[in-house]
């Protein structure tokens, strides 16, 4: 069966849902480097980078990448590539409301669980 989207996109969905955000970056970058006009992929890439920044306590980087992801993804609402983009935007807005305004969290807090809520990204069709 031929899938309508690049294989790396399907691999991204699995990696994102397993919270392997660095892997997500690499997978999406493969797609984006072949089609730099694909701002949907760029938005998902920035969402992954935001979660990666959060994983090591970089609040400033998390905030910046969340906003960039929102800017890139909003034009694709409500659905794109069979993904509920509205759900992703709602997740981003929720994250933006809880990301600390300090530059970075202390090492003790970074060792704790991520500040950001879990997001499951699934295709709807």
pLDDT mean over 96-118: 71
What number of other Cβ atoms are within 10 A of residue 35's Cβ? Answer: 11
Q: Is residue 125 part of a domain?
A: no
Q: Is residue 76 part of a domain?
A: yes
Q: Is residue 115 part of a domain?
A: no
Domain that holds residue 36: 7-110
pLDDT, tens only, 34-73? 999 999 999 999 999 999 999 888 999 999 999 999 999 9
Which positions ≥6 away from 112 have C-beta within 8 Å? Answer: none
Alpha-carbon distance values, 50 to 53, 61, 82, 90 (Å)? 5, 7, 22, 15
Is 65:54 a contact under the CB 8 Å cutoff? no
pTM of the predicted protein model: 0.90
Looking at the structure of the chain, the number of domains it has is 1
Residue 34 belongs to domain with CATH number: 1.10.3450.10
Q: Is residue 99 part of a domain?
A: yes
Give pLDDT, residue 120: 96
pLDDT band for 101, please (50, 70, 90 cuts): confident
Whether the pLDDT of residue 6 is over 90: the answer is yes
pLDDT, tens only, 10-39? 999 999 999 999 999 999 999 999 999 999
Q: Is residue 116 part of a domain?
A: no
Is 112:96 a contact under the CB 8 Å cutoff? no
Q: Is residue 117 part of a domain?
A: no
Give pLDDT, residue 115: 81
Q: Is residue 2 part of a domain?
A: no
Q: Is residue 123 part of a domain?
A: no
């Amino acid at each position: 069966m031929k899938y309508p989207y690049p294989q790396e996109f399907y691999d991204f969905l699995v990696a994102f849902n397993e919270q392997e955000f660095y892997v997500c970056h690499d997978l999406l970058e493969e797609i984006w480097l072949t089609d730099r006009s694909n701002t949907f992929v760029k938005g998902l890439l920035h969402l992954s980078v935001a979660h990666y920044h959060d994983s090591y306590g970089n609040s400033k980087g998390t905030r910046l990448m969340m906003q960039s992801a929102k800017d890139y993804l909003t034009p694709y609402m409500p659905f794109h590539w069979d993904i509920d983009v509205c759900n992703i935007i709602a997740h981003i807005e929720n994250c933006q409301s809880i990301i600390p305004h300090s530059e970075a969290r202390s090492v003790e807090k970074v060792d704790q669980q991520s500040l950001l809520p879990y997001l499951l990204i699934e295709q709807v069709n």
